[in-house]
């Protein structure tokens, strides 16, 4: 378990946070600019010192009378800018991380393979794209053999194409490596795609902390009302239809047809379902092009800005399955006369699933 609590101020900014995060997977520190995400991460790394307590896996890194200096904390830190050594090749930058490591856990070849760096090894940093430089920076951090990886908005300085290039590599790291990650971001779509656990920060305080899927669909939090919000469903591939390029993915409360790229039978997969891609009906439709029509129940209705509403759904006849979000117009809500507890059918296009 990662246990962190810091309280103090820098200039006019006050931080007063406490949270616990699992010692596995990716925990996102999420919130608007200036809410204290980076300050919290720097306190965990020991680069900033505020009164508080920090424990990792039962080891005390900071407490009354105890402060483990940054160079003695087994962490790897990835900044917004890659900050590679310009006089070293990609290989030289990666091996710099190895030289600093006392132990050997993650192997050089493994990191090169996971991050797709083989064809870049002899290049100088100046000959790399933004996404390539950041992949090298992540590799260098991993090769320092950290027990905890800290990532401070590693995609913030990249354009959309570069972000799309690097995200699959971050997903591979999540799937293959056992190193826990604290990941700072203010991009909700990025968090939905990568994180398992969420710490929601507002004005230097923790608004909520818990599993990502639960917090996104929590009606007491503002996340479900955000533009572009998506539900996150964890599932397993149970069948593949090669003829039509589809995979059947079982989630709590139902099964979904998704693009075959979801993976082979048995693979665990996360599906991100945008609220705008979910429509509702009172009776099961017939002769429809929409592949996914699932029974669900309304578990809450959030009023949105303008003439919209966000409907919180529980999959399954009883509504006790995975949580889903549907963004509908006020007119649609009125015509369906939706109320909490009502049974409905949720429709999702197969091609809309990511």
Q: Residues 58-114: pLDDT tens digits?
A: 899 999 989 999 999 999 999 888 788 999 999 999 998 776 665 667 788 888 998
pTM: 0.87
Contacts of 295 (CB under 8 A, 6+ apart): 254, 284, 315, 316, 317, 343, 344, 345, 346
Residues 98 and 206 in one domain: yes
* Same-domain check for residues 203 and 316: no
8 A C-beta contact, residue 311 and residue 330: no
Return the residue matching tokens 């293959």. 176
Residue at 254 is within a domain:
yes
Please tell me the predicted confidence (pLDDT) of residue 63.
93
**Could you tell me if 88 and 11 lie in one domain?**
yes
Task: Answer yes or no: is 225 within a domain.
Answer: no
Q: Is 155 contained in some domain? A: yes
Domain termination residue (choose one: 216, 243, 259): 216
Residue 77: give its domain's CATH number: 3.40.50.300
In a domain, 265, yes or no: yes
CA 55 to centroid of chain Cα atoms: 23
Dist. CA 302–CA 187, nearest whole Å: 22
- State the CATH number of the domain containing residue 285: 2.40.50.100
Higher pLDDT, 351 or 140: 140
Bridge partner list, 16: 7
Q: Is residue 108 part of a domain?
A: yes
Same domain, 203 and 258: no
Quickly list DSSP for 237-259: EEEEETTTTEEEEEETTEEEEEE
Same domain (yes/no): 302, 261: yes
- Mean pLDDT over residues 211-238, rounded? 89
Average pLDDT over all residues of the chain: 89
In a domain, 100, yes or no: yes
The band of 151, judged by pLDDT with boundaries at 50, 70 and 90, is very high
**Best CA proximity match to 97, nearest among 72, 69, 76:** 76
The verdict on 206 and 248 lying in the same domain is: no
pLDDT of res. 16: 94
105-141 confidence digits (pLDDT tens): 778 888 899 889 999 999 999 999 888 899 999 999 9
Sign of CA dihedral 166, 248, 216, 310: positive
Domain boundary among 169, 188, 216: 216
Q: How far is CA 239 from CA 43, 175, 245, 264, 347, in A?
A: 46, 21, 11, 8, 20
Q: Please state, in angstroms and rounded to a whole number, the distance separating the CA atoms of residues 315 and 192.
A: 19
pLDDT at 41 over 90: yes
- Count of domains in the chain? 2
Going by C-beta distance under 8 Å and a sequence separation of 6 or more, which residues neighbour residue 148?
2, 44, 56, 73, 74, 75, 76, 179, 180, 181, 182
Question: Picking from 3-7, 256-260, 340-344, which range would have the lowest pLDDT averaged per residue?
Answer: 256-260
Structural domain of residue 310, as residue ranges?
230-352
Q: 275: which DSSP letter?
A: G
């Amino acid at each position: 378990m990662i246990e962190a609590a810091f309280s103090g101020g820098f200039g006019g900014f006050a931080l007063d946070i406490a949270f616990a995060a699992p010692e596995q997977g990716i925990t996102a520190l999420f919130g608007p600019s200036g809410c204290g995400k980076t300050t919290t991460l720097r306190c965990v790394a020991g680069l900033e010192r505020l009164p508080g307590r920090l424990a990792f896996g039962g080891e005390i890194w900071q407490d009354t009378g105890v402060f483990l200096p940054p160079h003695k904390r087994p962490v790897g830190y990835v900044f917004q800018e890659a900050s590679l050594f310009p006089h070293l090749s990609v290989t030289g930058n990666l091996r710099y991380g190895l030289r600093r490591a006392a132990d050997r856990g993650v192997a050089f070849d493994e990191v090169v393979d996971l991050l797709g760096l083989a064809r870049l090894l002899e290049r100088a940093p100046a000959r790399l794209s933004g996404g390539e430089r950041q992949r090298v920076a992540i590799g260098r951090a991993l090769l320092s053999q950290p027990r905890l990886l800290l990532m401070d908005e590693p995609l913030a300085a990249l354009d959309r194409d570069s972000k799309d290039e690097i995200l699959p590599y971050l997903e591979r790291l999540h799937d293959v490596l056992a190193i826990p990650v604290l990941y700072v971001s203010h991009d909700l779509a990025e968090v939905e795609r990568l994180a398992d656990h969420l710490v929601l920060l507002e004005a230097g305080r923790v608004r909520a902390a818990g599993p990502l899927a639960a917090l996104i669909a929590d009606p007491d939090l503002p996340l479900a009302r955000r533009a572009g919000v998506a539900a996150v469903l964890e599932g397993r591939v149970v069948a593949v239809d090669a003829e039509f390029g589809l995979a059947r993915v079982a989630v709590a409360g139902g099964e979904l047809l998704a693009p075959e790229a979801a993976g082979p039978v048995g693979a665990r997969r996360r599906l991100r379902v945008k609220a705008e891609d979910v429509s509702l009906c009172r009776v099961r439709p017939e002769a429809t092009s929409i592949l996914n029509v699932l029974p669900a129940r309304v578990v809450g209705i959030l009023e949105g800005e303008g003439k919209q509403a966000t409907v919180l759904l529980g999959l399954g006849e009883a509504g006790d399955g995975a949580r889903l979000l549907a963004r509908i117009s006020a007119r649609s809500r009125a015509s369906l006369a939706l109320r909490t507890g009502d049974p409905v059918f949720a429709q999702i296009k197969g091609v809309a699933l990511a």
